[in-house]
């Protein structure tokens, strides 16, 4: 490495690029000479060993990459060219041209240089823009093409076509046992026009002699060209031509459709024999011909896949459409499948061999035929298909998909992180590091996937019958060949299951894994794209993971986005071993991309820079391939790409597509390809689809779940236990009344609609009612708006409603009459109370935790007692008087709370006021749930004076109320919801995490904080409401219960009994997956969700 380095004259500070630990370059350097040696001798003899093909994928990229590093590599080889002359040739994409022809072998070597191929491969070279290292293996499998060119046409079977027909009239065109040509294209001979027109051609020429046909003219430049093939697509004429070159007949369409494609695609050579024909031909006379099929070299040519157009500008324009080349490929595949069927060729090994053969046949046919119809449907009506339920994956299916990718993970090798990494890794993390490292460098497949690619079938060449004295040089007859019934590809070499992009998907339970990745690869910039809420966390974690000074993290977000190029360049002089990481958000990316889209002049540096590595965090953020975010992500340039997500497949297989597209994992990164070979087979319940996905994932996915075990059977992550308690609460009479009235009217509504069969039409209305009920459970003021006074009727007790509304109104008003006295109270009570902390409530005889005073008579009670006493009196329509002195009447709003400071906490520092006692009006309406929360938090404070708790609710309006309640309880509390900007969010989290002896509570909106956040400093979780599916709740809990947590996590769900919440739980148990969909508010109602609604309003 260092030696070659020294010889390089060009490129600025070379040393920087070749820091000793840059494994990738080292690897490449070592491998290249090795490959040369193994390949060079292989050219003439054309052996097929997996090893030759295996080493290929990571060599090509060097020459396609314009990056500095690789330029240098290129130079090295050029200098060494004289030493190893073949090296250039081998590594050149255009090597087809230079293939050594062995005259002894190529008696019939018709293979000419295909101009199209040359142009396209050079185009390929150009197109694969500087950064793309991935994905070329199909196109330029150099050693393979050597073998292919040495391949002799090989007999694979024969068929009798009984219904060919004559296009001419007359004698002498052909006679029985004549060999005939089978041609696709029209002849240039003079007679062909006539023949074409099927008019009387009187020239009667008999051919004699049994000559073997040479097929050279058949193999002239062929219809890979799209325009060309487009025209040809319209017909499927297959012409029969006699030895003199006259077309005398055609195949009937039932055979010609596939034979035409085979010919067009240069898959077979057909040697025909006239089996039976009338002596005198007449137009339309039926002919019986026997066709001997020979696979020819060009059949094994790697397929050209120019799709996945590497020019980012064109991305996304024709997604979903079947491109012309796609059509060609599909037709080619159909033709080959059909041919195998007709010839009776069965696979020896490979996909589906073990299953019974009939079904395999059917499968192949089904697969081959389906796209014709289906794809069209999709093109016409993409949206319809998108919402098709059958595309949804069940949990089991998703698990099945992952299982394969994980099956041998336990025994994977480990790898130590580089010395710049400051944290200790767990075993499974070292495994992951090894895996990622091997994927990036391509040294070896950590999973050792050396089995046959599951998409492929192995076929044997059948023995060829000796044809009329002509012996054929069967050089490769013992060799099997391989066919991929999905892509229609044919290969001679062993199709090892392979991976061909640098990067992968980490379906880990997040972050920790990939941090070390950067540390092992210094000296290049890495881009991290993460949801806005996680930017700060990323930057912190990165800093934390790395020894000081070894990493520079730039958060590129917000208004002051600096010039990235400057940032990245200026530092190259400093130290070569500083790892530079740019952290940005999807939002920024999308807007930068949009800017670029609007005017071509604007160049956003983020898309200009060729990153060493891109990491997408929560990569499912770009799961919709048509979204702006996804398009922006596709437009990034990078050598190595990683997608980190907990859910690579959220609920559709196509979710995966977007990731593959980003990873540039060809050919699956082409939408129509993905669609044709994965989505559509899946829709038709073809298990093969799942298998294909499994194969893809096996090579690029590393999935880690909390409950996975390592090779010793230990949990890979030893998380502390989690205790979940559901606390069932009872409404206060008042809340019960409010709730019931809302519930009854909703129920009545529902029953009315149900009776009329209008439920599905009014689905959204019902969902809205449900939403209201769910709010009512939390707090009455969340539902008692102005509209309620009109809509909801309070049976038998109108006055109560007024009371509540009045209360709420008064609370909102805040200040009230009588406030003038408050200073006097303070005076009075400060003296009275400060020494007397242990005052006893005259009602409950307990110490007053929250003493309240009746201003009128100054009598004190604990809050709970006096408030409920007043409530009971109101309930009985009695006037409430002071329980001690009967002064009255009193209202709960009159009460004044005495807030003692520093009673339980040692909170002397923060409070500025010196008064130990403070008065506060009872201007806050609490609720059962709030009470429960506050009660729990108070208890917690007793046990653990500096606890950390996280409170989740899905309603931000309820979060407001929670905050007020916490404020009143004098808890240090912070809030995190989706409406806050990044700064505020990260400030909230930081403050929550910062050290303090006081208890802290973080109030989090379930939707905003349910993903990504790391809140392991807390170990108490309170779920204020229940979400339709428990998965979302669990994900929220996992913010706390995750790696880094070292205490037992206590989770408390608050449920109010005999409310909609019980029923939600009921439904949750019933069928999680469907509820999930049904209540997401999509506006559509299926029978299942209506059934669920009936549970909601049932009387159970």
Partner 1 sequence: MALPKMKLHPQLRSCDQLTIGCSKETERLVADPAPGISALPHDDNLRYFDVIIEGPGGSPFQNGKFKLELFLPEEYPMAPPKVRFLTKIYHPNIDKLGRICLDILKDKWSPALQIRTVLLSVQALLSAPNPDDPLATDVAKHYKENEADAQRVSQEWTQKYAV
**Site of interaction with partner 1 (CB under 8 A):** 726-733, 735, 841-846, 861-862, 864-865, 868-869, 871-872, 878, 881-884, 886, 928, 931-932, 1057
Closer Cβ to partner 1, 461 or 739, answer by number: 739
Shortest distance, position 736 Cβ to partner 1, whole Å:
9
Closer Cβ to partner 1, 408 or 884, answer by number: 884
Rounded distance between C-alpha atoms, residue 802 and residue 186, angstroms: 92
Shortest distance, position 879 Cβ to partner 1, whole Å:
10
Rounded distance between C-alpha atoms, residue 898 and residue 906, angstroms: 18
Closer Cβ to partner 1, 317 or 845, answer by number: 845
Other beta carbons within 10 angstroms of residue 386's beta carbon come to 14
| Residues whose CB is less than 8 angstroms from the CB of residue 671 and which lie 6 or more positions away in sequence, other chains included | 319, 320, 625, 657, 661
Shortest distance, position 732 Cβ to partner 1, whole Å:
4
Shortest distance, position 930 Cβ to partner 1, whole Å:
12
Rounded distance between C-alpha atoms, residue 539 and residue 108, angstroms: 64
Q: Which of 705, 393, 1041, 1083 is nearest to 1033 (CA)?
A: 1041
Tokens of 477: 């007859």
Angle at alpha carbon of residue 659, lines to 657 and 663, rounded to 5° = 115
Closer Cβ to partner 1, 768 or 885, answer by number: 885
Closer Cβ to partner 1, 759 or 850, answer by number: 850
Q: Is 38 helix (H, G, I), strand (E, B) or coil?
A: helix
Are 720 and 1051 a contacting pair, CB within 8 Å? no
Shortest distance, position 585 Cβ to partner 1, whole Å:
44
Shortest distance, position 614 Cβ to partner 1, whole Å:
51
Q: Is 230 helix (H, G, I), strand (E, B) or coil?
A: helix
Closer Cβ to partner 1, 345 or 890, answer by number: 890
Closer Cβ to partner 1, 235 or 728, answer by number: 728
Closer Cβ to partner 1, 282 or 846, answer by number: 846
H or E stretch covering 241: strand 239-241
Q: Which of 199, 161, 187, 203 is nearest to 284 (CA)?
A: 199
Shortest distance, position 730 Cβ to partner 1, whole Å:
5
Shortest distance, position 745 Cβ to partner 1, whole Å:
24
Closer Cβ to partner 1, 336 or 1055, answer by number: 1055
Shortest distance, position 444 Cβ to partner 1, whole Å:
57
DSSP string, 510-567: -THHHHHHHHHS-SSEEEEEE-GGGHHHHHHHHHHHB-TTSEEEEEE-SS----HHHH
Shortest distance, position 1064 Cβ to partner 1, whole Å:
16
171 DSSP assignment: E
Tokens of 145: 């093409």
Closer Cβ to partner 1, 347 or 851, answer by number: 851
Rounded distance between C-alpha atoms, residue 147 and residue 141, angstroms: 10
Are 297 and 111 a contacting pair, CB within 8 Å? yes
Beta bridge partners of residue 1011, listed in sequence order: none
Closer Cβ to partner 1, 705 or 727, answer by number: 727
Q: Output the CA torsion 39→41→47→48 (10° steps).
A: -10
Q: Is 201 helix (H, G, I), strand (E, B) or coil?
A: coil
Closer Cβ to partner 1, 764 or 1057, answer by number: 1057
Q: Could you tell me where the beta strands, DSSP code E, fall in 875-971?
A: 896-900, 917-921, 948-953
Closer Cβ to partner 1, 26 or 875, answer by number: 875
Closer Cβ to partner 1, 452 or 841, answer by number: 841
H or E stretch covering 375: helix 357-380
Closer Cβ to partner 1, 691 or 735, answer by number: 735
Shortest distance, position 1022 Cβ to partner 1, whole Å:
16
Q: Which of 969, 1007, 1008, 968 is nearest to 988 (CA)?
A: 1008
Are 311 and 128 a contacting pair, CB within 8 Å? no
Shortest distance, position 973 Cβ to partner 1, whole Å:
23
Closer Cβ to partner 1, 266 or 781, answer by number: 781
The 3-class SS string of 275-292 reads EECCCEECCCCEEEEEEE
Other beta carbons within 10 angstroms of residue 962's beta carbon come to 26
* 761-770: burial string, b at 16+ Cβ within 10 Å, e else: ebbeebbebb
Shortest distance, position 778 Cβ to partner 1, whole Å:
15
Shortest distance, position 744 Cβ to partner 1, whole Å:
21
Beta bridge partners of residue 525, listed in sequence order: 580
Strand-pair category, 1020-1023 with 948-953 = parallel
* Helices 982-993 + 535-545 axis angle, to 10: 50
Closer Cβ to partner 1, 511 or 732, answer by number: 732
Shortest distance, position 1057 Cβ to partner 1, whole Å:
7
Shortest distance, position 635 Cβ to partner 1, whole Å:
55
* 109-121: burial string, b at 16+ Cβ within 10 Å, e else: bbbeebebbeebb
Cis link prior to 889 (omega < 30° from 0)?
Answer: yes
Shortest distance, position 927 Cβ to partner 1, whole Å:
10
Shortest distance, position 1066 Cβ to partner 1, whole Å:
15
Rounded distance between C-alpha atoms, residue 912 and residue 901, angstroms: 11
Q: Output the CA torsion 1009→1012→1018→1021 (10° steps).
A: 50
Rounded distance between C-alpha atoms, residue 960 and residue 134, angstroms: 50
Tokens of 951: 């409170």
Closer Cβ to partner 1, 474 or 857, answer by number: 857
């Amino acid at each position: 490495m260092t030696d070659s380095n020294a010889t390089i004259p060009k490129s600025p500070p070379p040393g920087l690029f070749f820091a000793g630990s840059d494994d990738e370059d080292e690897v490449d350097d070592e491998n290249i000479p090795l490959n040369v040696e193994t390949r060079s001798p292989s050219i003439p003899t054309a052996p097929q060993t997996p090893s030759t093909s295996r080493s290929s994928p990571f060599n090509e990229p060097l020459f396609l990459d314009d990056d500095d590093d690789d330029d240098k590599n290129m130079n090295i080889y050029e200098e060494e060219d004289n030493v190893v002359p073949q090296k250039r040739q081998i590594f050149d994409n255009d090597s087809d041209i230079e293939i050594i022809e062995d005259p002894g072998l190529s008696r019939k070597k018709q293979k000419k240089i295909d101009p199209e191929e040359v142009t396209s491969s050079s185009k390929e070279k150009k197109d694969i823009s500087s950064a793309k290292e991935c994905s070329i293996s199909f196109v330029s499998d150099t050693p393979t093409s050597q073998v292919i060119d040495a391949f002799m046409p090989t007999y694979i079977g024969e068929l009798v076509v009984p219904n060919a027909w004559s296009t001419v009239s007359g004698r002498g065109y052909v006679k029985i046992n004549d060999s005939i040509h089978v041609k696709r294209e029209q002849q240039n001979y003079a007679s062909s026009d006539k023949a074409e027109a099927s008019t009387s051609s009187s020239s009667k020429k008999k051919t004699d002699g049994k000559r073997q046909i040479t097929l050279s003219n058949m193999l002239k430049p062929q219809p890979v060209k799209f325009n060309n093939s487009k025209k040809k697509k319209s017909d499927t004429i297959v012409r029969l031509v006699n030895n003199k070159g006259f077309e005398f007949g055609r195949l009937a369409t039932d055979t010609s459709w596939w034979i035409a494609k085979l010919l067009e695609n240069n898959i077979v050579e057909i040697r025909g024999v006239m089996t039976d024909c009338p002596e005198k031909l007449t137009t339309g006379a039926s002919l019986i011909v026997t066709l001997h099929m020979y696979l020819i070299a060009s059949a094994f040519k790697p397929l050209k896949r120019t799709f996945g157009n590497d020019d980012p500008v064109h991305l996304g324009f024709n997604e979903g459409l079947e491109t012309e080349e796609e059509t060609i490929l599909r037709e080619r595949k159909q033709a080959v499948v059909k041919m195998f069927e007709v010839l009776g060729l069965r696979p020896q090994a490979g996909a589906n061999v073990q299953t019974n053969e009939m079904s395999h046949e059917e499968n192949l046919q089904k697969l081959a035929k389906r796209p014709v119809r289906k794809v069209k449907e999709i093109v016409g009506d993409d949206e319809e298909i998108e919402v098709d339920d059958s595309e949804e994956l069940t949990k089991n299916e998703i698990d099945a998909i992952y299982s394969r990718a994980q099956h041998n993970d336990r025994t994977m090798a480990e790898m130590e992180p580089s010395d710049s990494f400051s944290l200790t890794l767990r075993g499974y993390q070292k495994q992951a590091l090894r895996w990622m490292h091997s994927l990036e460098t391509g040294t070896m497949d950590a999973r050792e996937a050396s089995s046959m690619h599951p998409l492929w079938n192995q076929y044997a060449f059948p023995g060829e019958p000796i044809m009329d004295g002509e012996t054929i040089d069967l050089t490769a007859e013992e060799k099997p060949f391989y066919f991929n019934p999905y892509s229609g590809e044919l290969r001679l070499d062993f199709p090892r299951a392979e991976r061909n992009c640098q990067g992968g998907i980490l379906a880990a339970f997040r972050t920790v894994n990939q941090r070390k990745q950067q540390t092992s690869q210094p000296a290049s910039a890495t881009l991290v794209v993460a949801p806005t809420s996680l930017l700060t966390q990323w930057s912190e974690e990165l800093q934390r993971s790395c020894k000081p000074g070894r990493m520079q993290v730039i958060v590129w977000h917000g208004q002051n986005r600096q010039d990235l190029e400057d940032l990245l360049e200026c530092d190259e002089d400093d130290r070569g071993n500083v790892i530079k990481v740019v952290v940005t958000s999807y939002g920024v990316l999308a807007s930068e991309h949009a800017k670029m889209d609007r005017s071509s002049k604007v160049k956003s540096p983020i898309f200009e820079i060729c990153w060493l590595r891109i990491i997408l965090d929560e990569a499912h953020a770009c799961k919709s391939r048509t979204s702006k975010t996804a398009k922006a992500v596709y437009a990034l340039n990078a050598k190595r790409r990683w997608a980190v997500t907990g859910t690579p497949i959220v609920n559709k297989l196509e979710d995966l597509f977007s990731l593959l597209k980003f990873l540039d994992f060809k050919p699956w990164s082409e939408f129509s390809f993905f669609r044709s070979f994965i989505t559509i087979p899946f829709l038709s319940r073809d298990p093969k689809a799942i298998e294909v996905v499994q194969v893809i994932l096996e090579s690029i996915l590393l999935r880690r779940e909390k409950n996975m075990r390592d090779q010793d059977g230990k949990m890979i992550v030893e998380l502390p236990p989690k205790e979940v308690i559901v606390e069932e609460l009872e409404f206060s009479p008042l809340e019960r009344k409010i709730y019931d009235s809302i519930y009854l009217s909703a129920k009545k509504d529902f029953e009315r609609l149900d009776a009329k069969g209008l439920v599905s039409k009014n689905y959204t209305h019902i969902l809205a009612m449900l939403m209201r009920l769910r709010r009512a459970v939390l707090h009455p003021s969340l539902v008692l708006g102005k509209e309620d006074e009109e809509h909801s009727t309070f049976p038998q007790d109108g006055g109560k409603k007024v009371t509540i509304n009045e209360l709420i109104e008064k609370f909102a008003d805040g200040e009230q009459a009588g406030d003038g006295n408050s200073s006097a109270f303070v005076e009075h009570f400060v003296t009275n109370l400060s020494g007397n902390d242990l005052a006893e409530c005259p009602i409950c005889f307990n110490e007053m935790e929250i003493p309240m005073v009746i201003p009128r008579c100054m009598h004190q009670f604990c809050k709970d007692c006096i408030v409920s006493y007043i409530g009971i009196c109101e309930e009985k329509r009695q006037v409430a008087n002071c329980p001690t002195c009967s002064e009255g009447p009193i209202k709960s709003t009159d009460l004044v709370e005495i807030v003692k400071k520093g009673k339980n906490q040692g909170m002397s520092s923060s409070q500025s006021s010196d008064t130990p006692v403070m008065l506060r009006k009872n201007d806050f309406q609490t609720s059962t749930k709030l009470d429960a929360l506050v009660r729990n938090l108070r208890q917690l404070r007793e046990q653990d004076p500096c606890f950390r708790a996280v409170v989740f609710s899905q309603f931000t309006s309820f979060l407001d109320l929670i905050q007020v309640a916490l404020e009143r309880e004098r808890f240090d509390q912070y809030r995190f919801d989706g409406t806050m900007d990044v700064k505020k969010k990260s400030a909230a989290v930081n403050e929550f995490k910062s050290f303090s002896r006081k208890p802290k509570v973080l109030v989090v909106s379930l939707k905003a904080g349910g993903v990504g956040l790391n809140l392991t400093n807390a170990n108490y979780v309170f779920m204020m409401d229940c979400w339709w599916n428990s998965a979302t709740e669990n994900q929220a809990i996992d913010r706390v219960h995750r790696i880094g947590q070292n205490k037992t996590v206590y989770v408390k769900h608050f449920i109010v009994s005999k409310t909609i919440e019980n029923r939600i739980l009921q439904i949750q148990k019933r069928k999680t997956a469907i509820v999930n969909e049904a209540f997401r508010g999509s506006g559509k109602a299926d029978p299942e969700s209506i059934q669920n609604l009936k549970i909601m309003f049932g009387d159970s």
